[in-house]
A and B are shown apart, each in its own frame.
Chain A
Amino acid sequence: MDVKYILPFLESIKSVLEQFGVDQVKRGQLAKNHIMHVNNDITAVVGVVGQVRGNIAYSMSEDTAQRIVSAMMMGMPVIELDEMGRSAIGEFANMVTGNASILLSNSGLEVDVTPPSIIFGRNVFFIISTVDTIKIDMETSLGRIEVNIGLEI
């Protein structure tokens, strides 16, 4: 998987979080995996179809998810992730992936984003692609977001 297809997703996390007033977003280590082992509480997965096909998973702790939802709701305190909060995390994943798909289309690749699914639970083993996935930790002032990208290109 060419890094030029990964950058739009990382750029998008940054720009979506910036829209909610979060300005500290740093890219951490990159790693390659086949089976993806997530020890976070929450994983939002979004698919893409079209000229690029694949899945992107965003994993985070419940605390981080609550802080993201709070930032999305202009600082409204969030003490538990209820249905509205889960919906907001799905929306966050959708926004990031949708934004990335616009960046991809600017470079000539038309893609469509599919509905997000949110998976709760610890110690979860995932396979999201028949190819290796690239894992990148995004360190933000709201906490770490682990991004796993499995694009079949």
Chain B
Amino acid sequence: MIKRILLVDDSPIIHRLLRKTLESNGYEVCGDAKNGREGVEMYKSLKPDLVFMDITMPIMDGLEAAKLIKELDPQARIIMLSAMGDDEIVGQAKELGIDIFLKKPFDDYKIISAISKVI
């Protein structure tokens, strides 16, 4: 079955780039959320196999959203994809049980090899 992936990022550019990478590698993008709160709502309704989550976003940031998603579904698979990745932020993500932390920029190889480790 085709794996369904939810994208959560405030940048339309990142949505375009990720979608291109994912679709050309046989994944389905099942939702595009522009902030953490939308991400949590879409997680509930779409039940994706995997989430790509930015950190710095309006309304609700990605760490908060990841925490809420993990509370809803401890089995949720989340890959953080952030421009910022200092020790403090990576540490916070680890505490939440995030599967993988990727720093932008990214290419197909970085994305696809991360996915293959978690689903």
**Cβ of A153 under 8 Å from chain B:** yes
B59 lies within 8 A of A130 (CB): no
Chain B at the A interface: SS class:
loop
A53 lies within 8 A of B59 (CB): no
CA separation between A53 and B59, bound complex, in Å? 10
**Chain B interface extent, by class:** under 10
**Cβ of A152 under 8 Å from chain B:** yes
Tell me the number of A-to-B contacts counted with CB atoms below 8 Å: 16
**Cβ of A73 under 8 Å from chain B:** no
A residues 84-143 near B (Cβ < 8 Å) are 129-131
Closest to B56 in A: A53
CA separation between A152 and B11, bound complex, in Å? 13
Q: Distance in Å from the Cβ of A111 to the closest Cβ of chain B?
A: 15
**Chain B residues positioned under 8 Å from A153 (CB to CB):** 58-59
**Cβ of B57 under 8 Å from chain A:** yes
CA separation between A138 and B95, bound complex, in Å? 46
**Cβ of B10 under 8 Å from chain A:** yes
Q: Distance in Å from the Cβ of B38 to the closest Cβ of chain A?
A: 12
A residues 35-90 near B (Cβ < 8 Å) are 53
CA separation between A131 and B56, bound complex, in Å? 13
**Chain A residues positioned under 8 Å from B34 (CB to CB):** 130
- Chain B residues at the A interface, C-beta cutoff of 8 Å: 10-12, 34, 56-59
Kindly list the 5 A-B residue pairs having the minimum CB-CB distance in the complex, ordered from nearest.
Answer: A152-B58, A130-B10, A131-B58, A130-B11, A153-B58
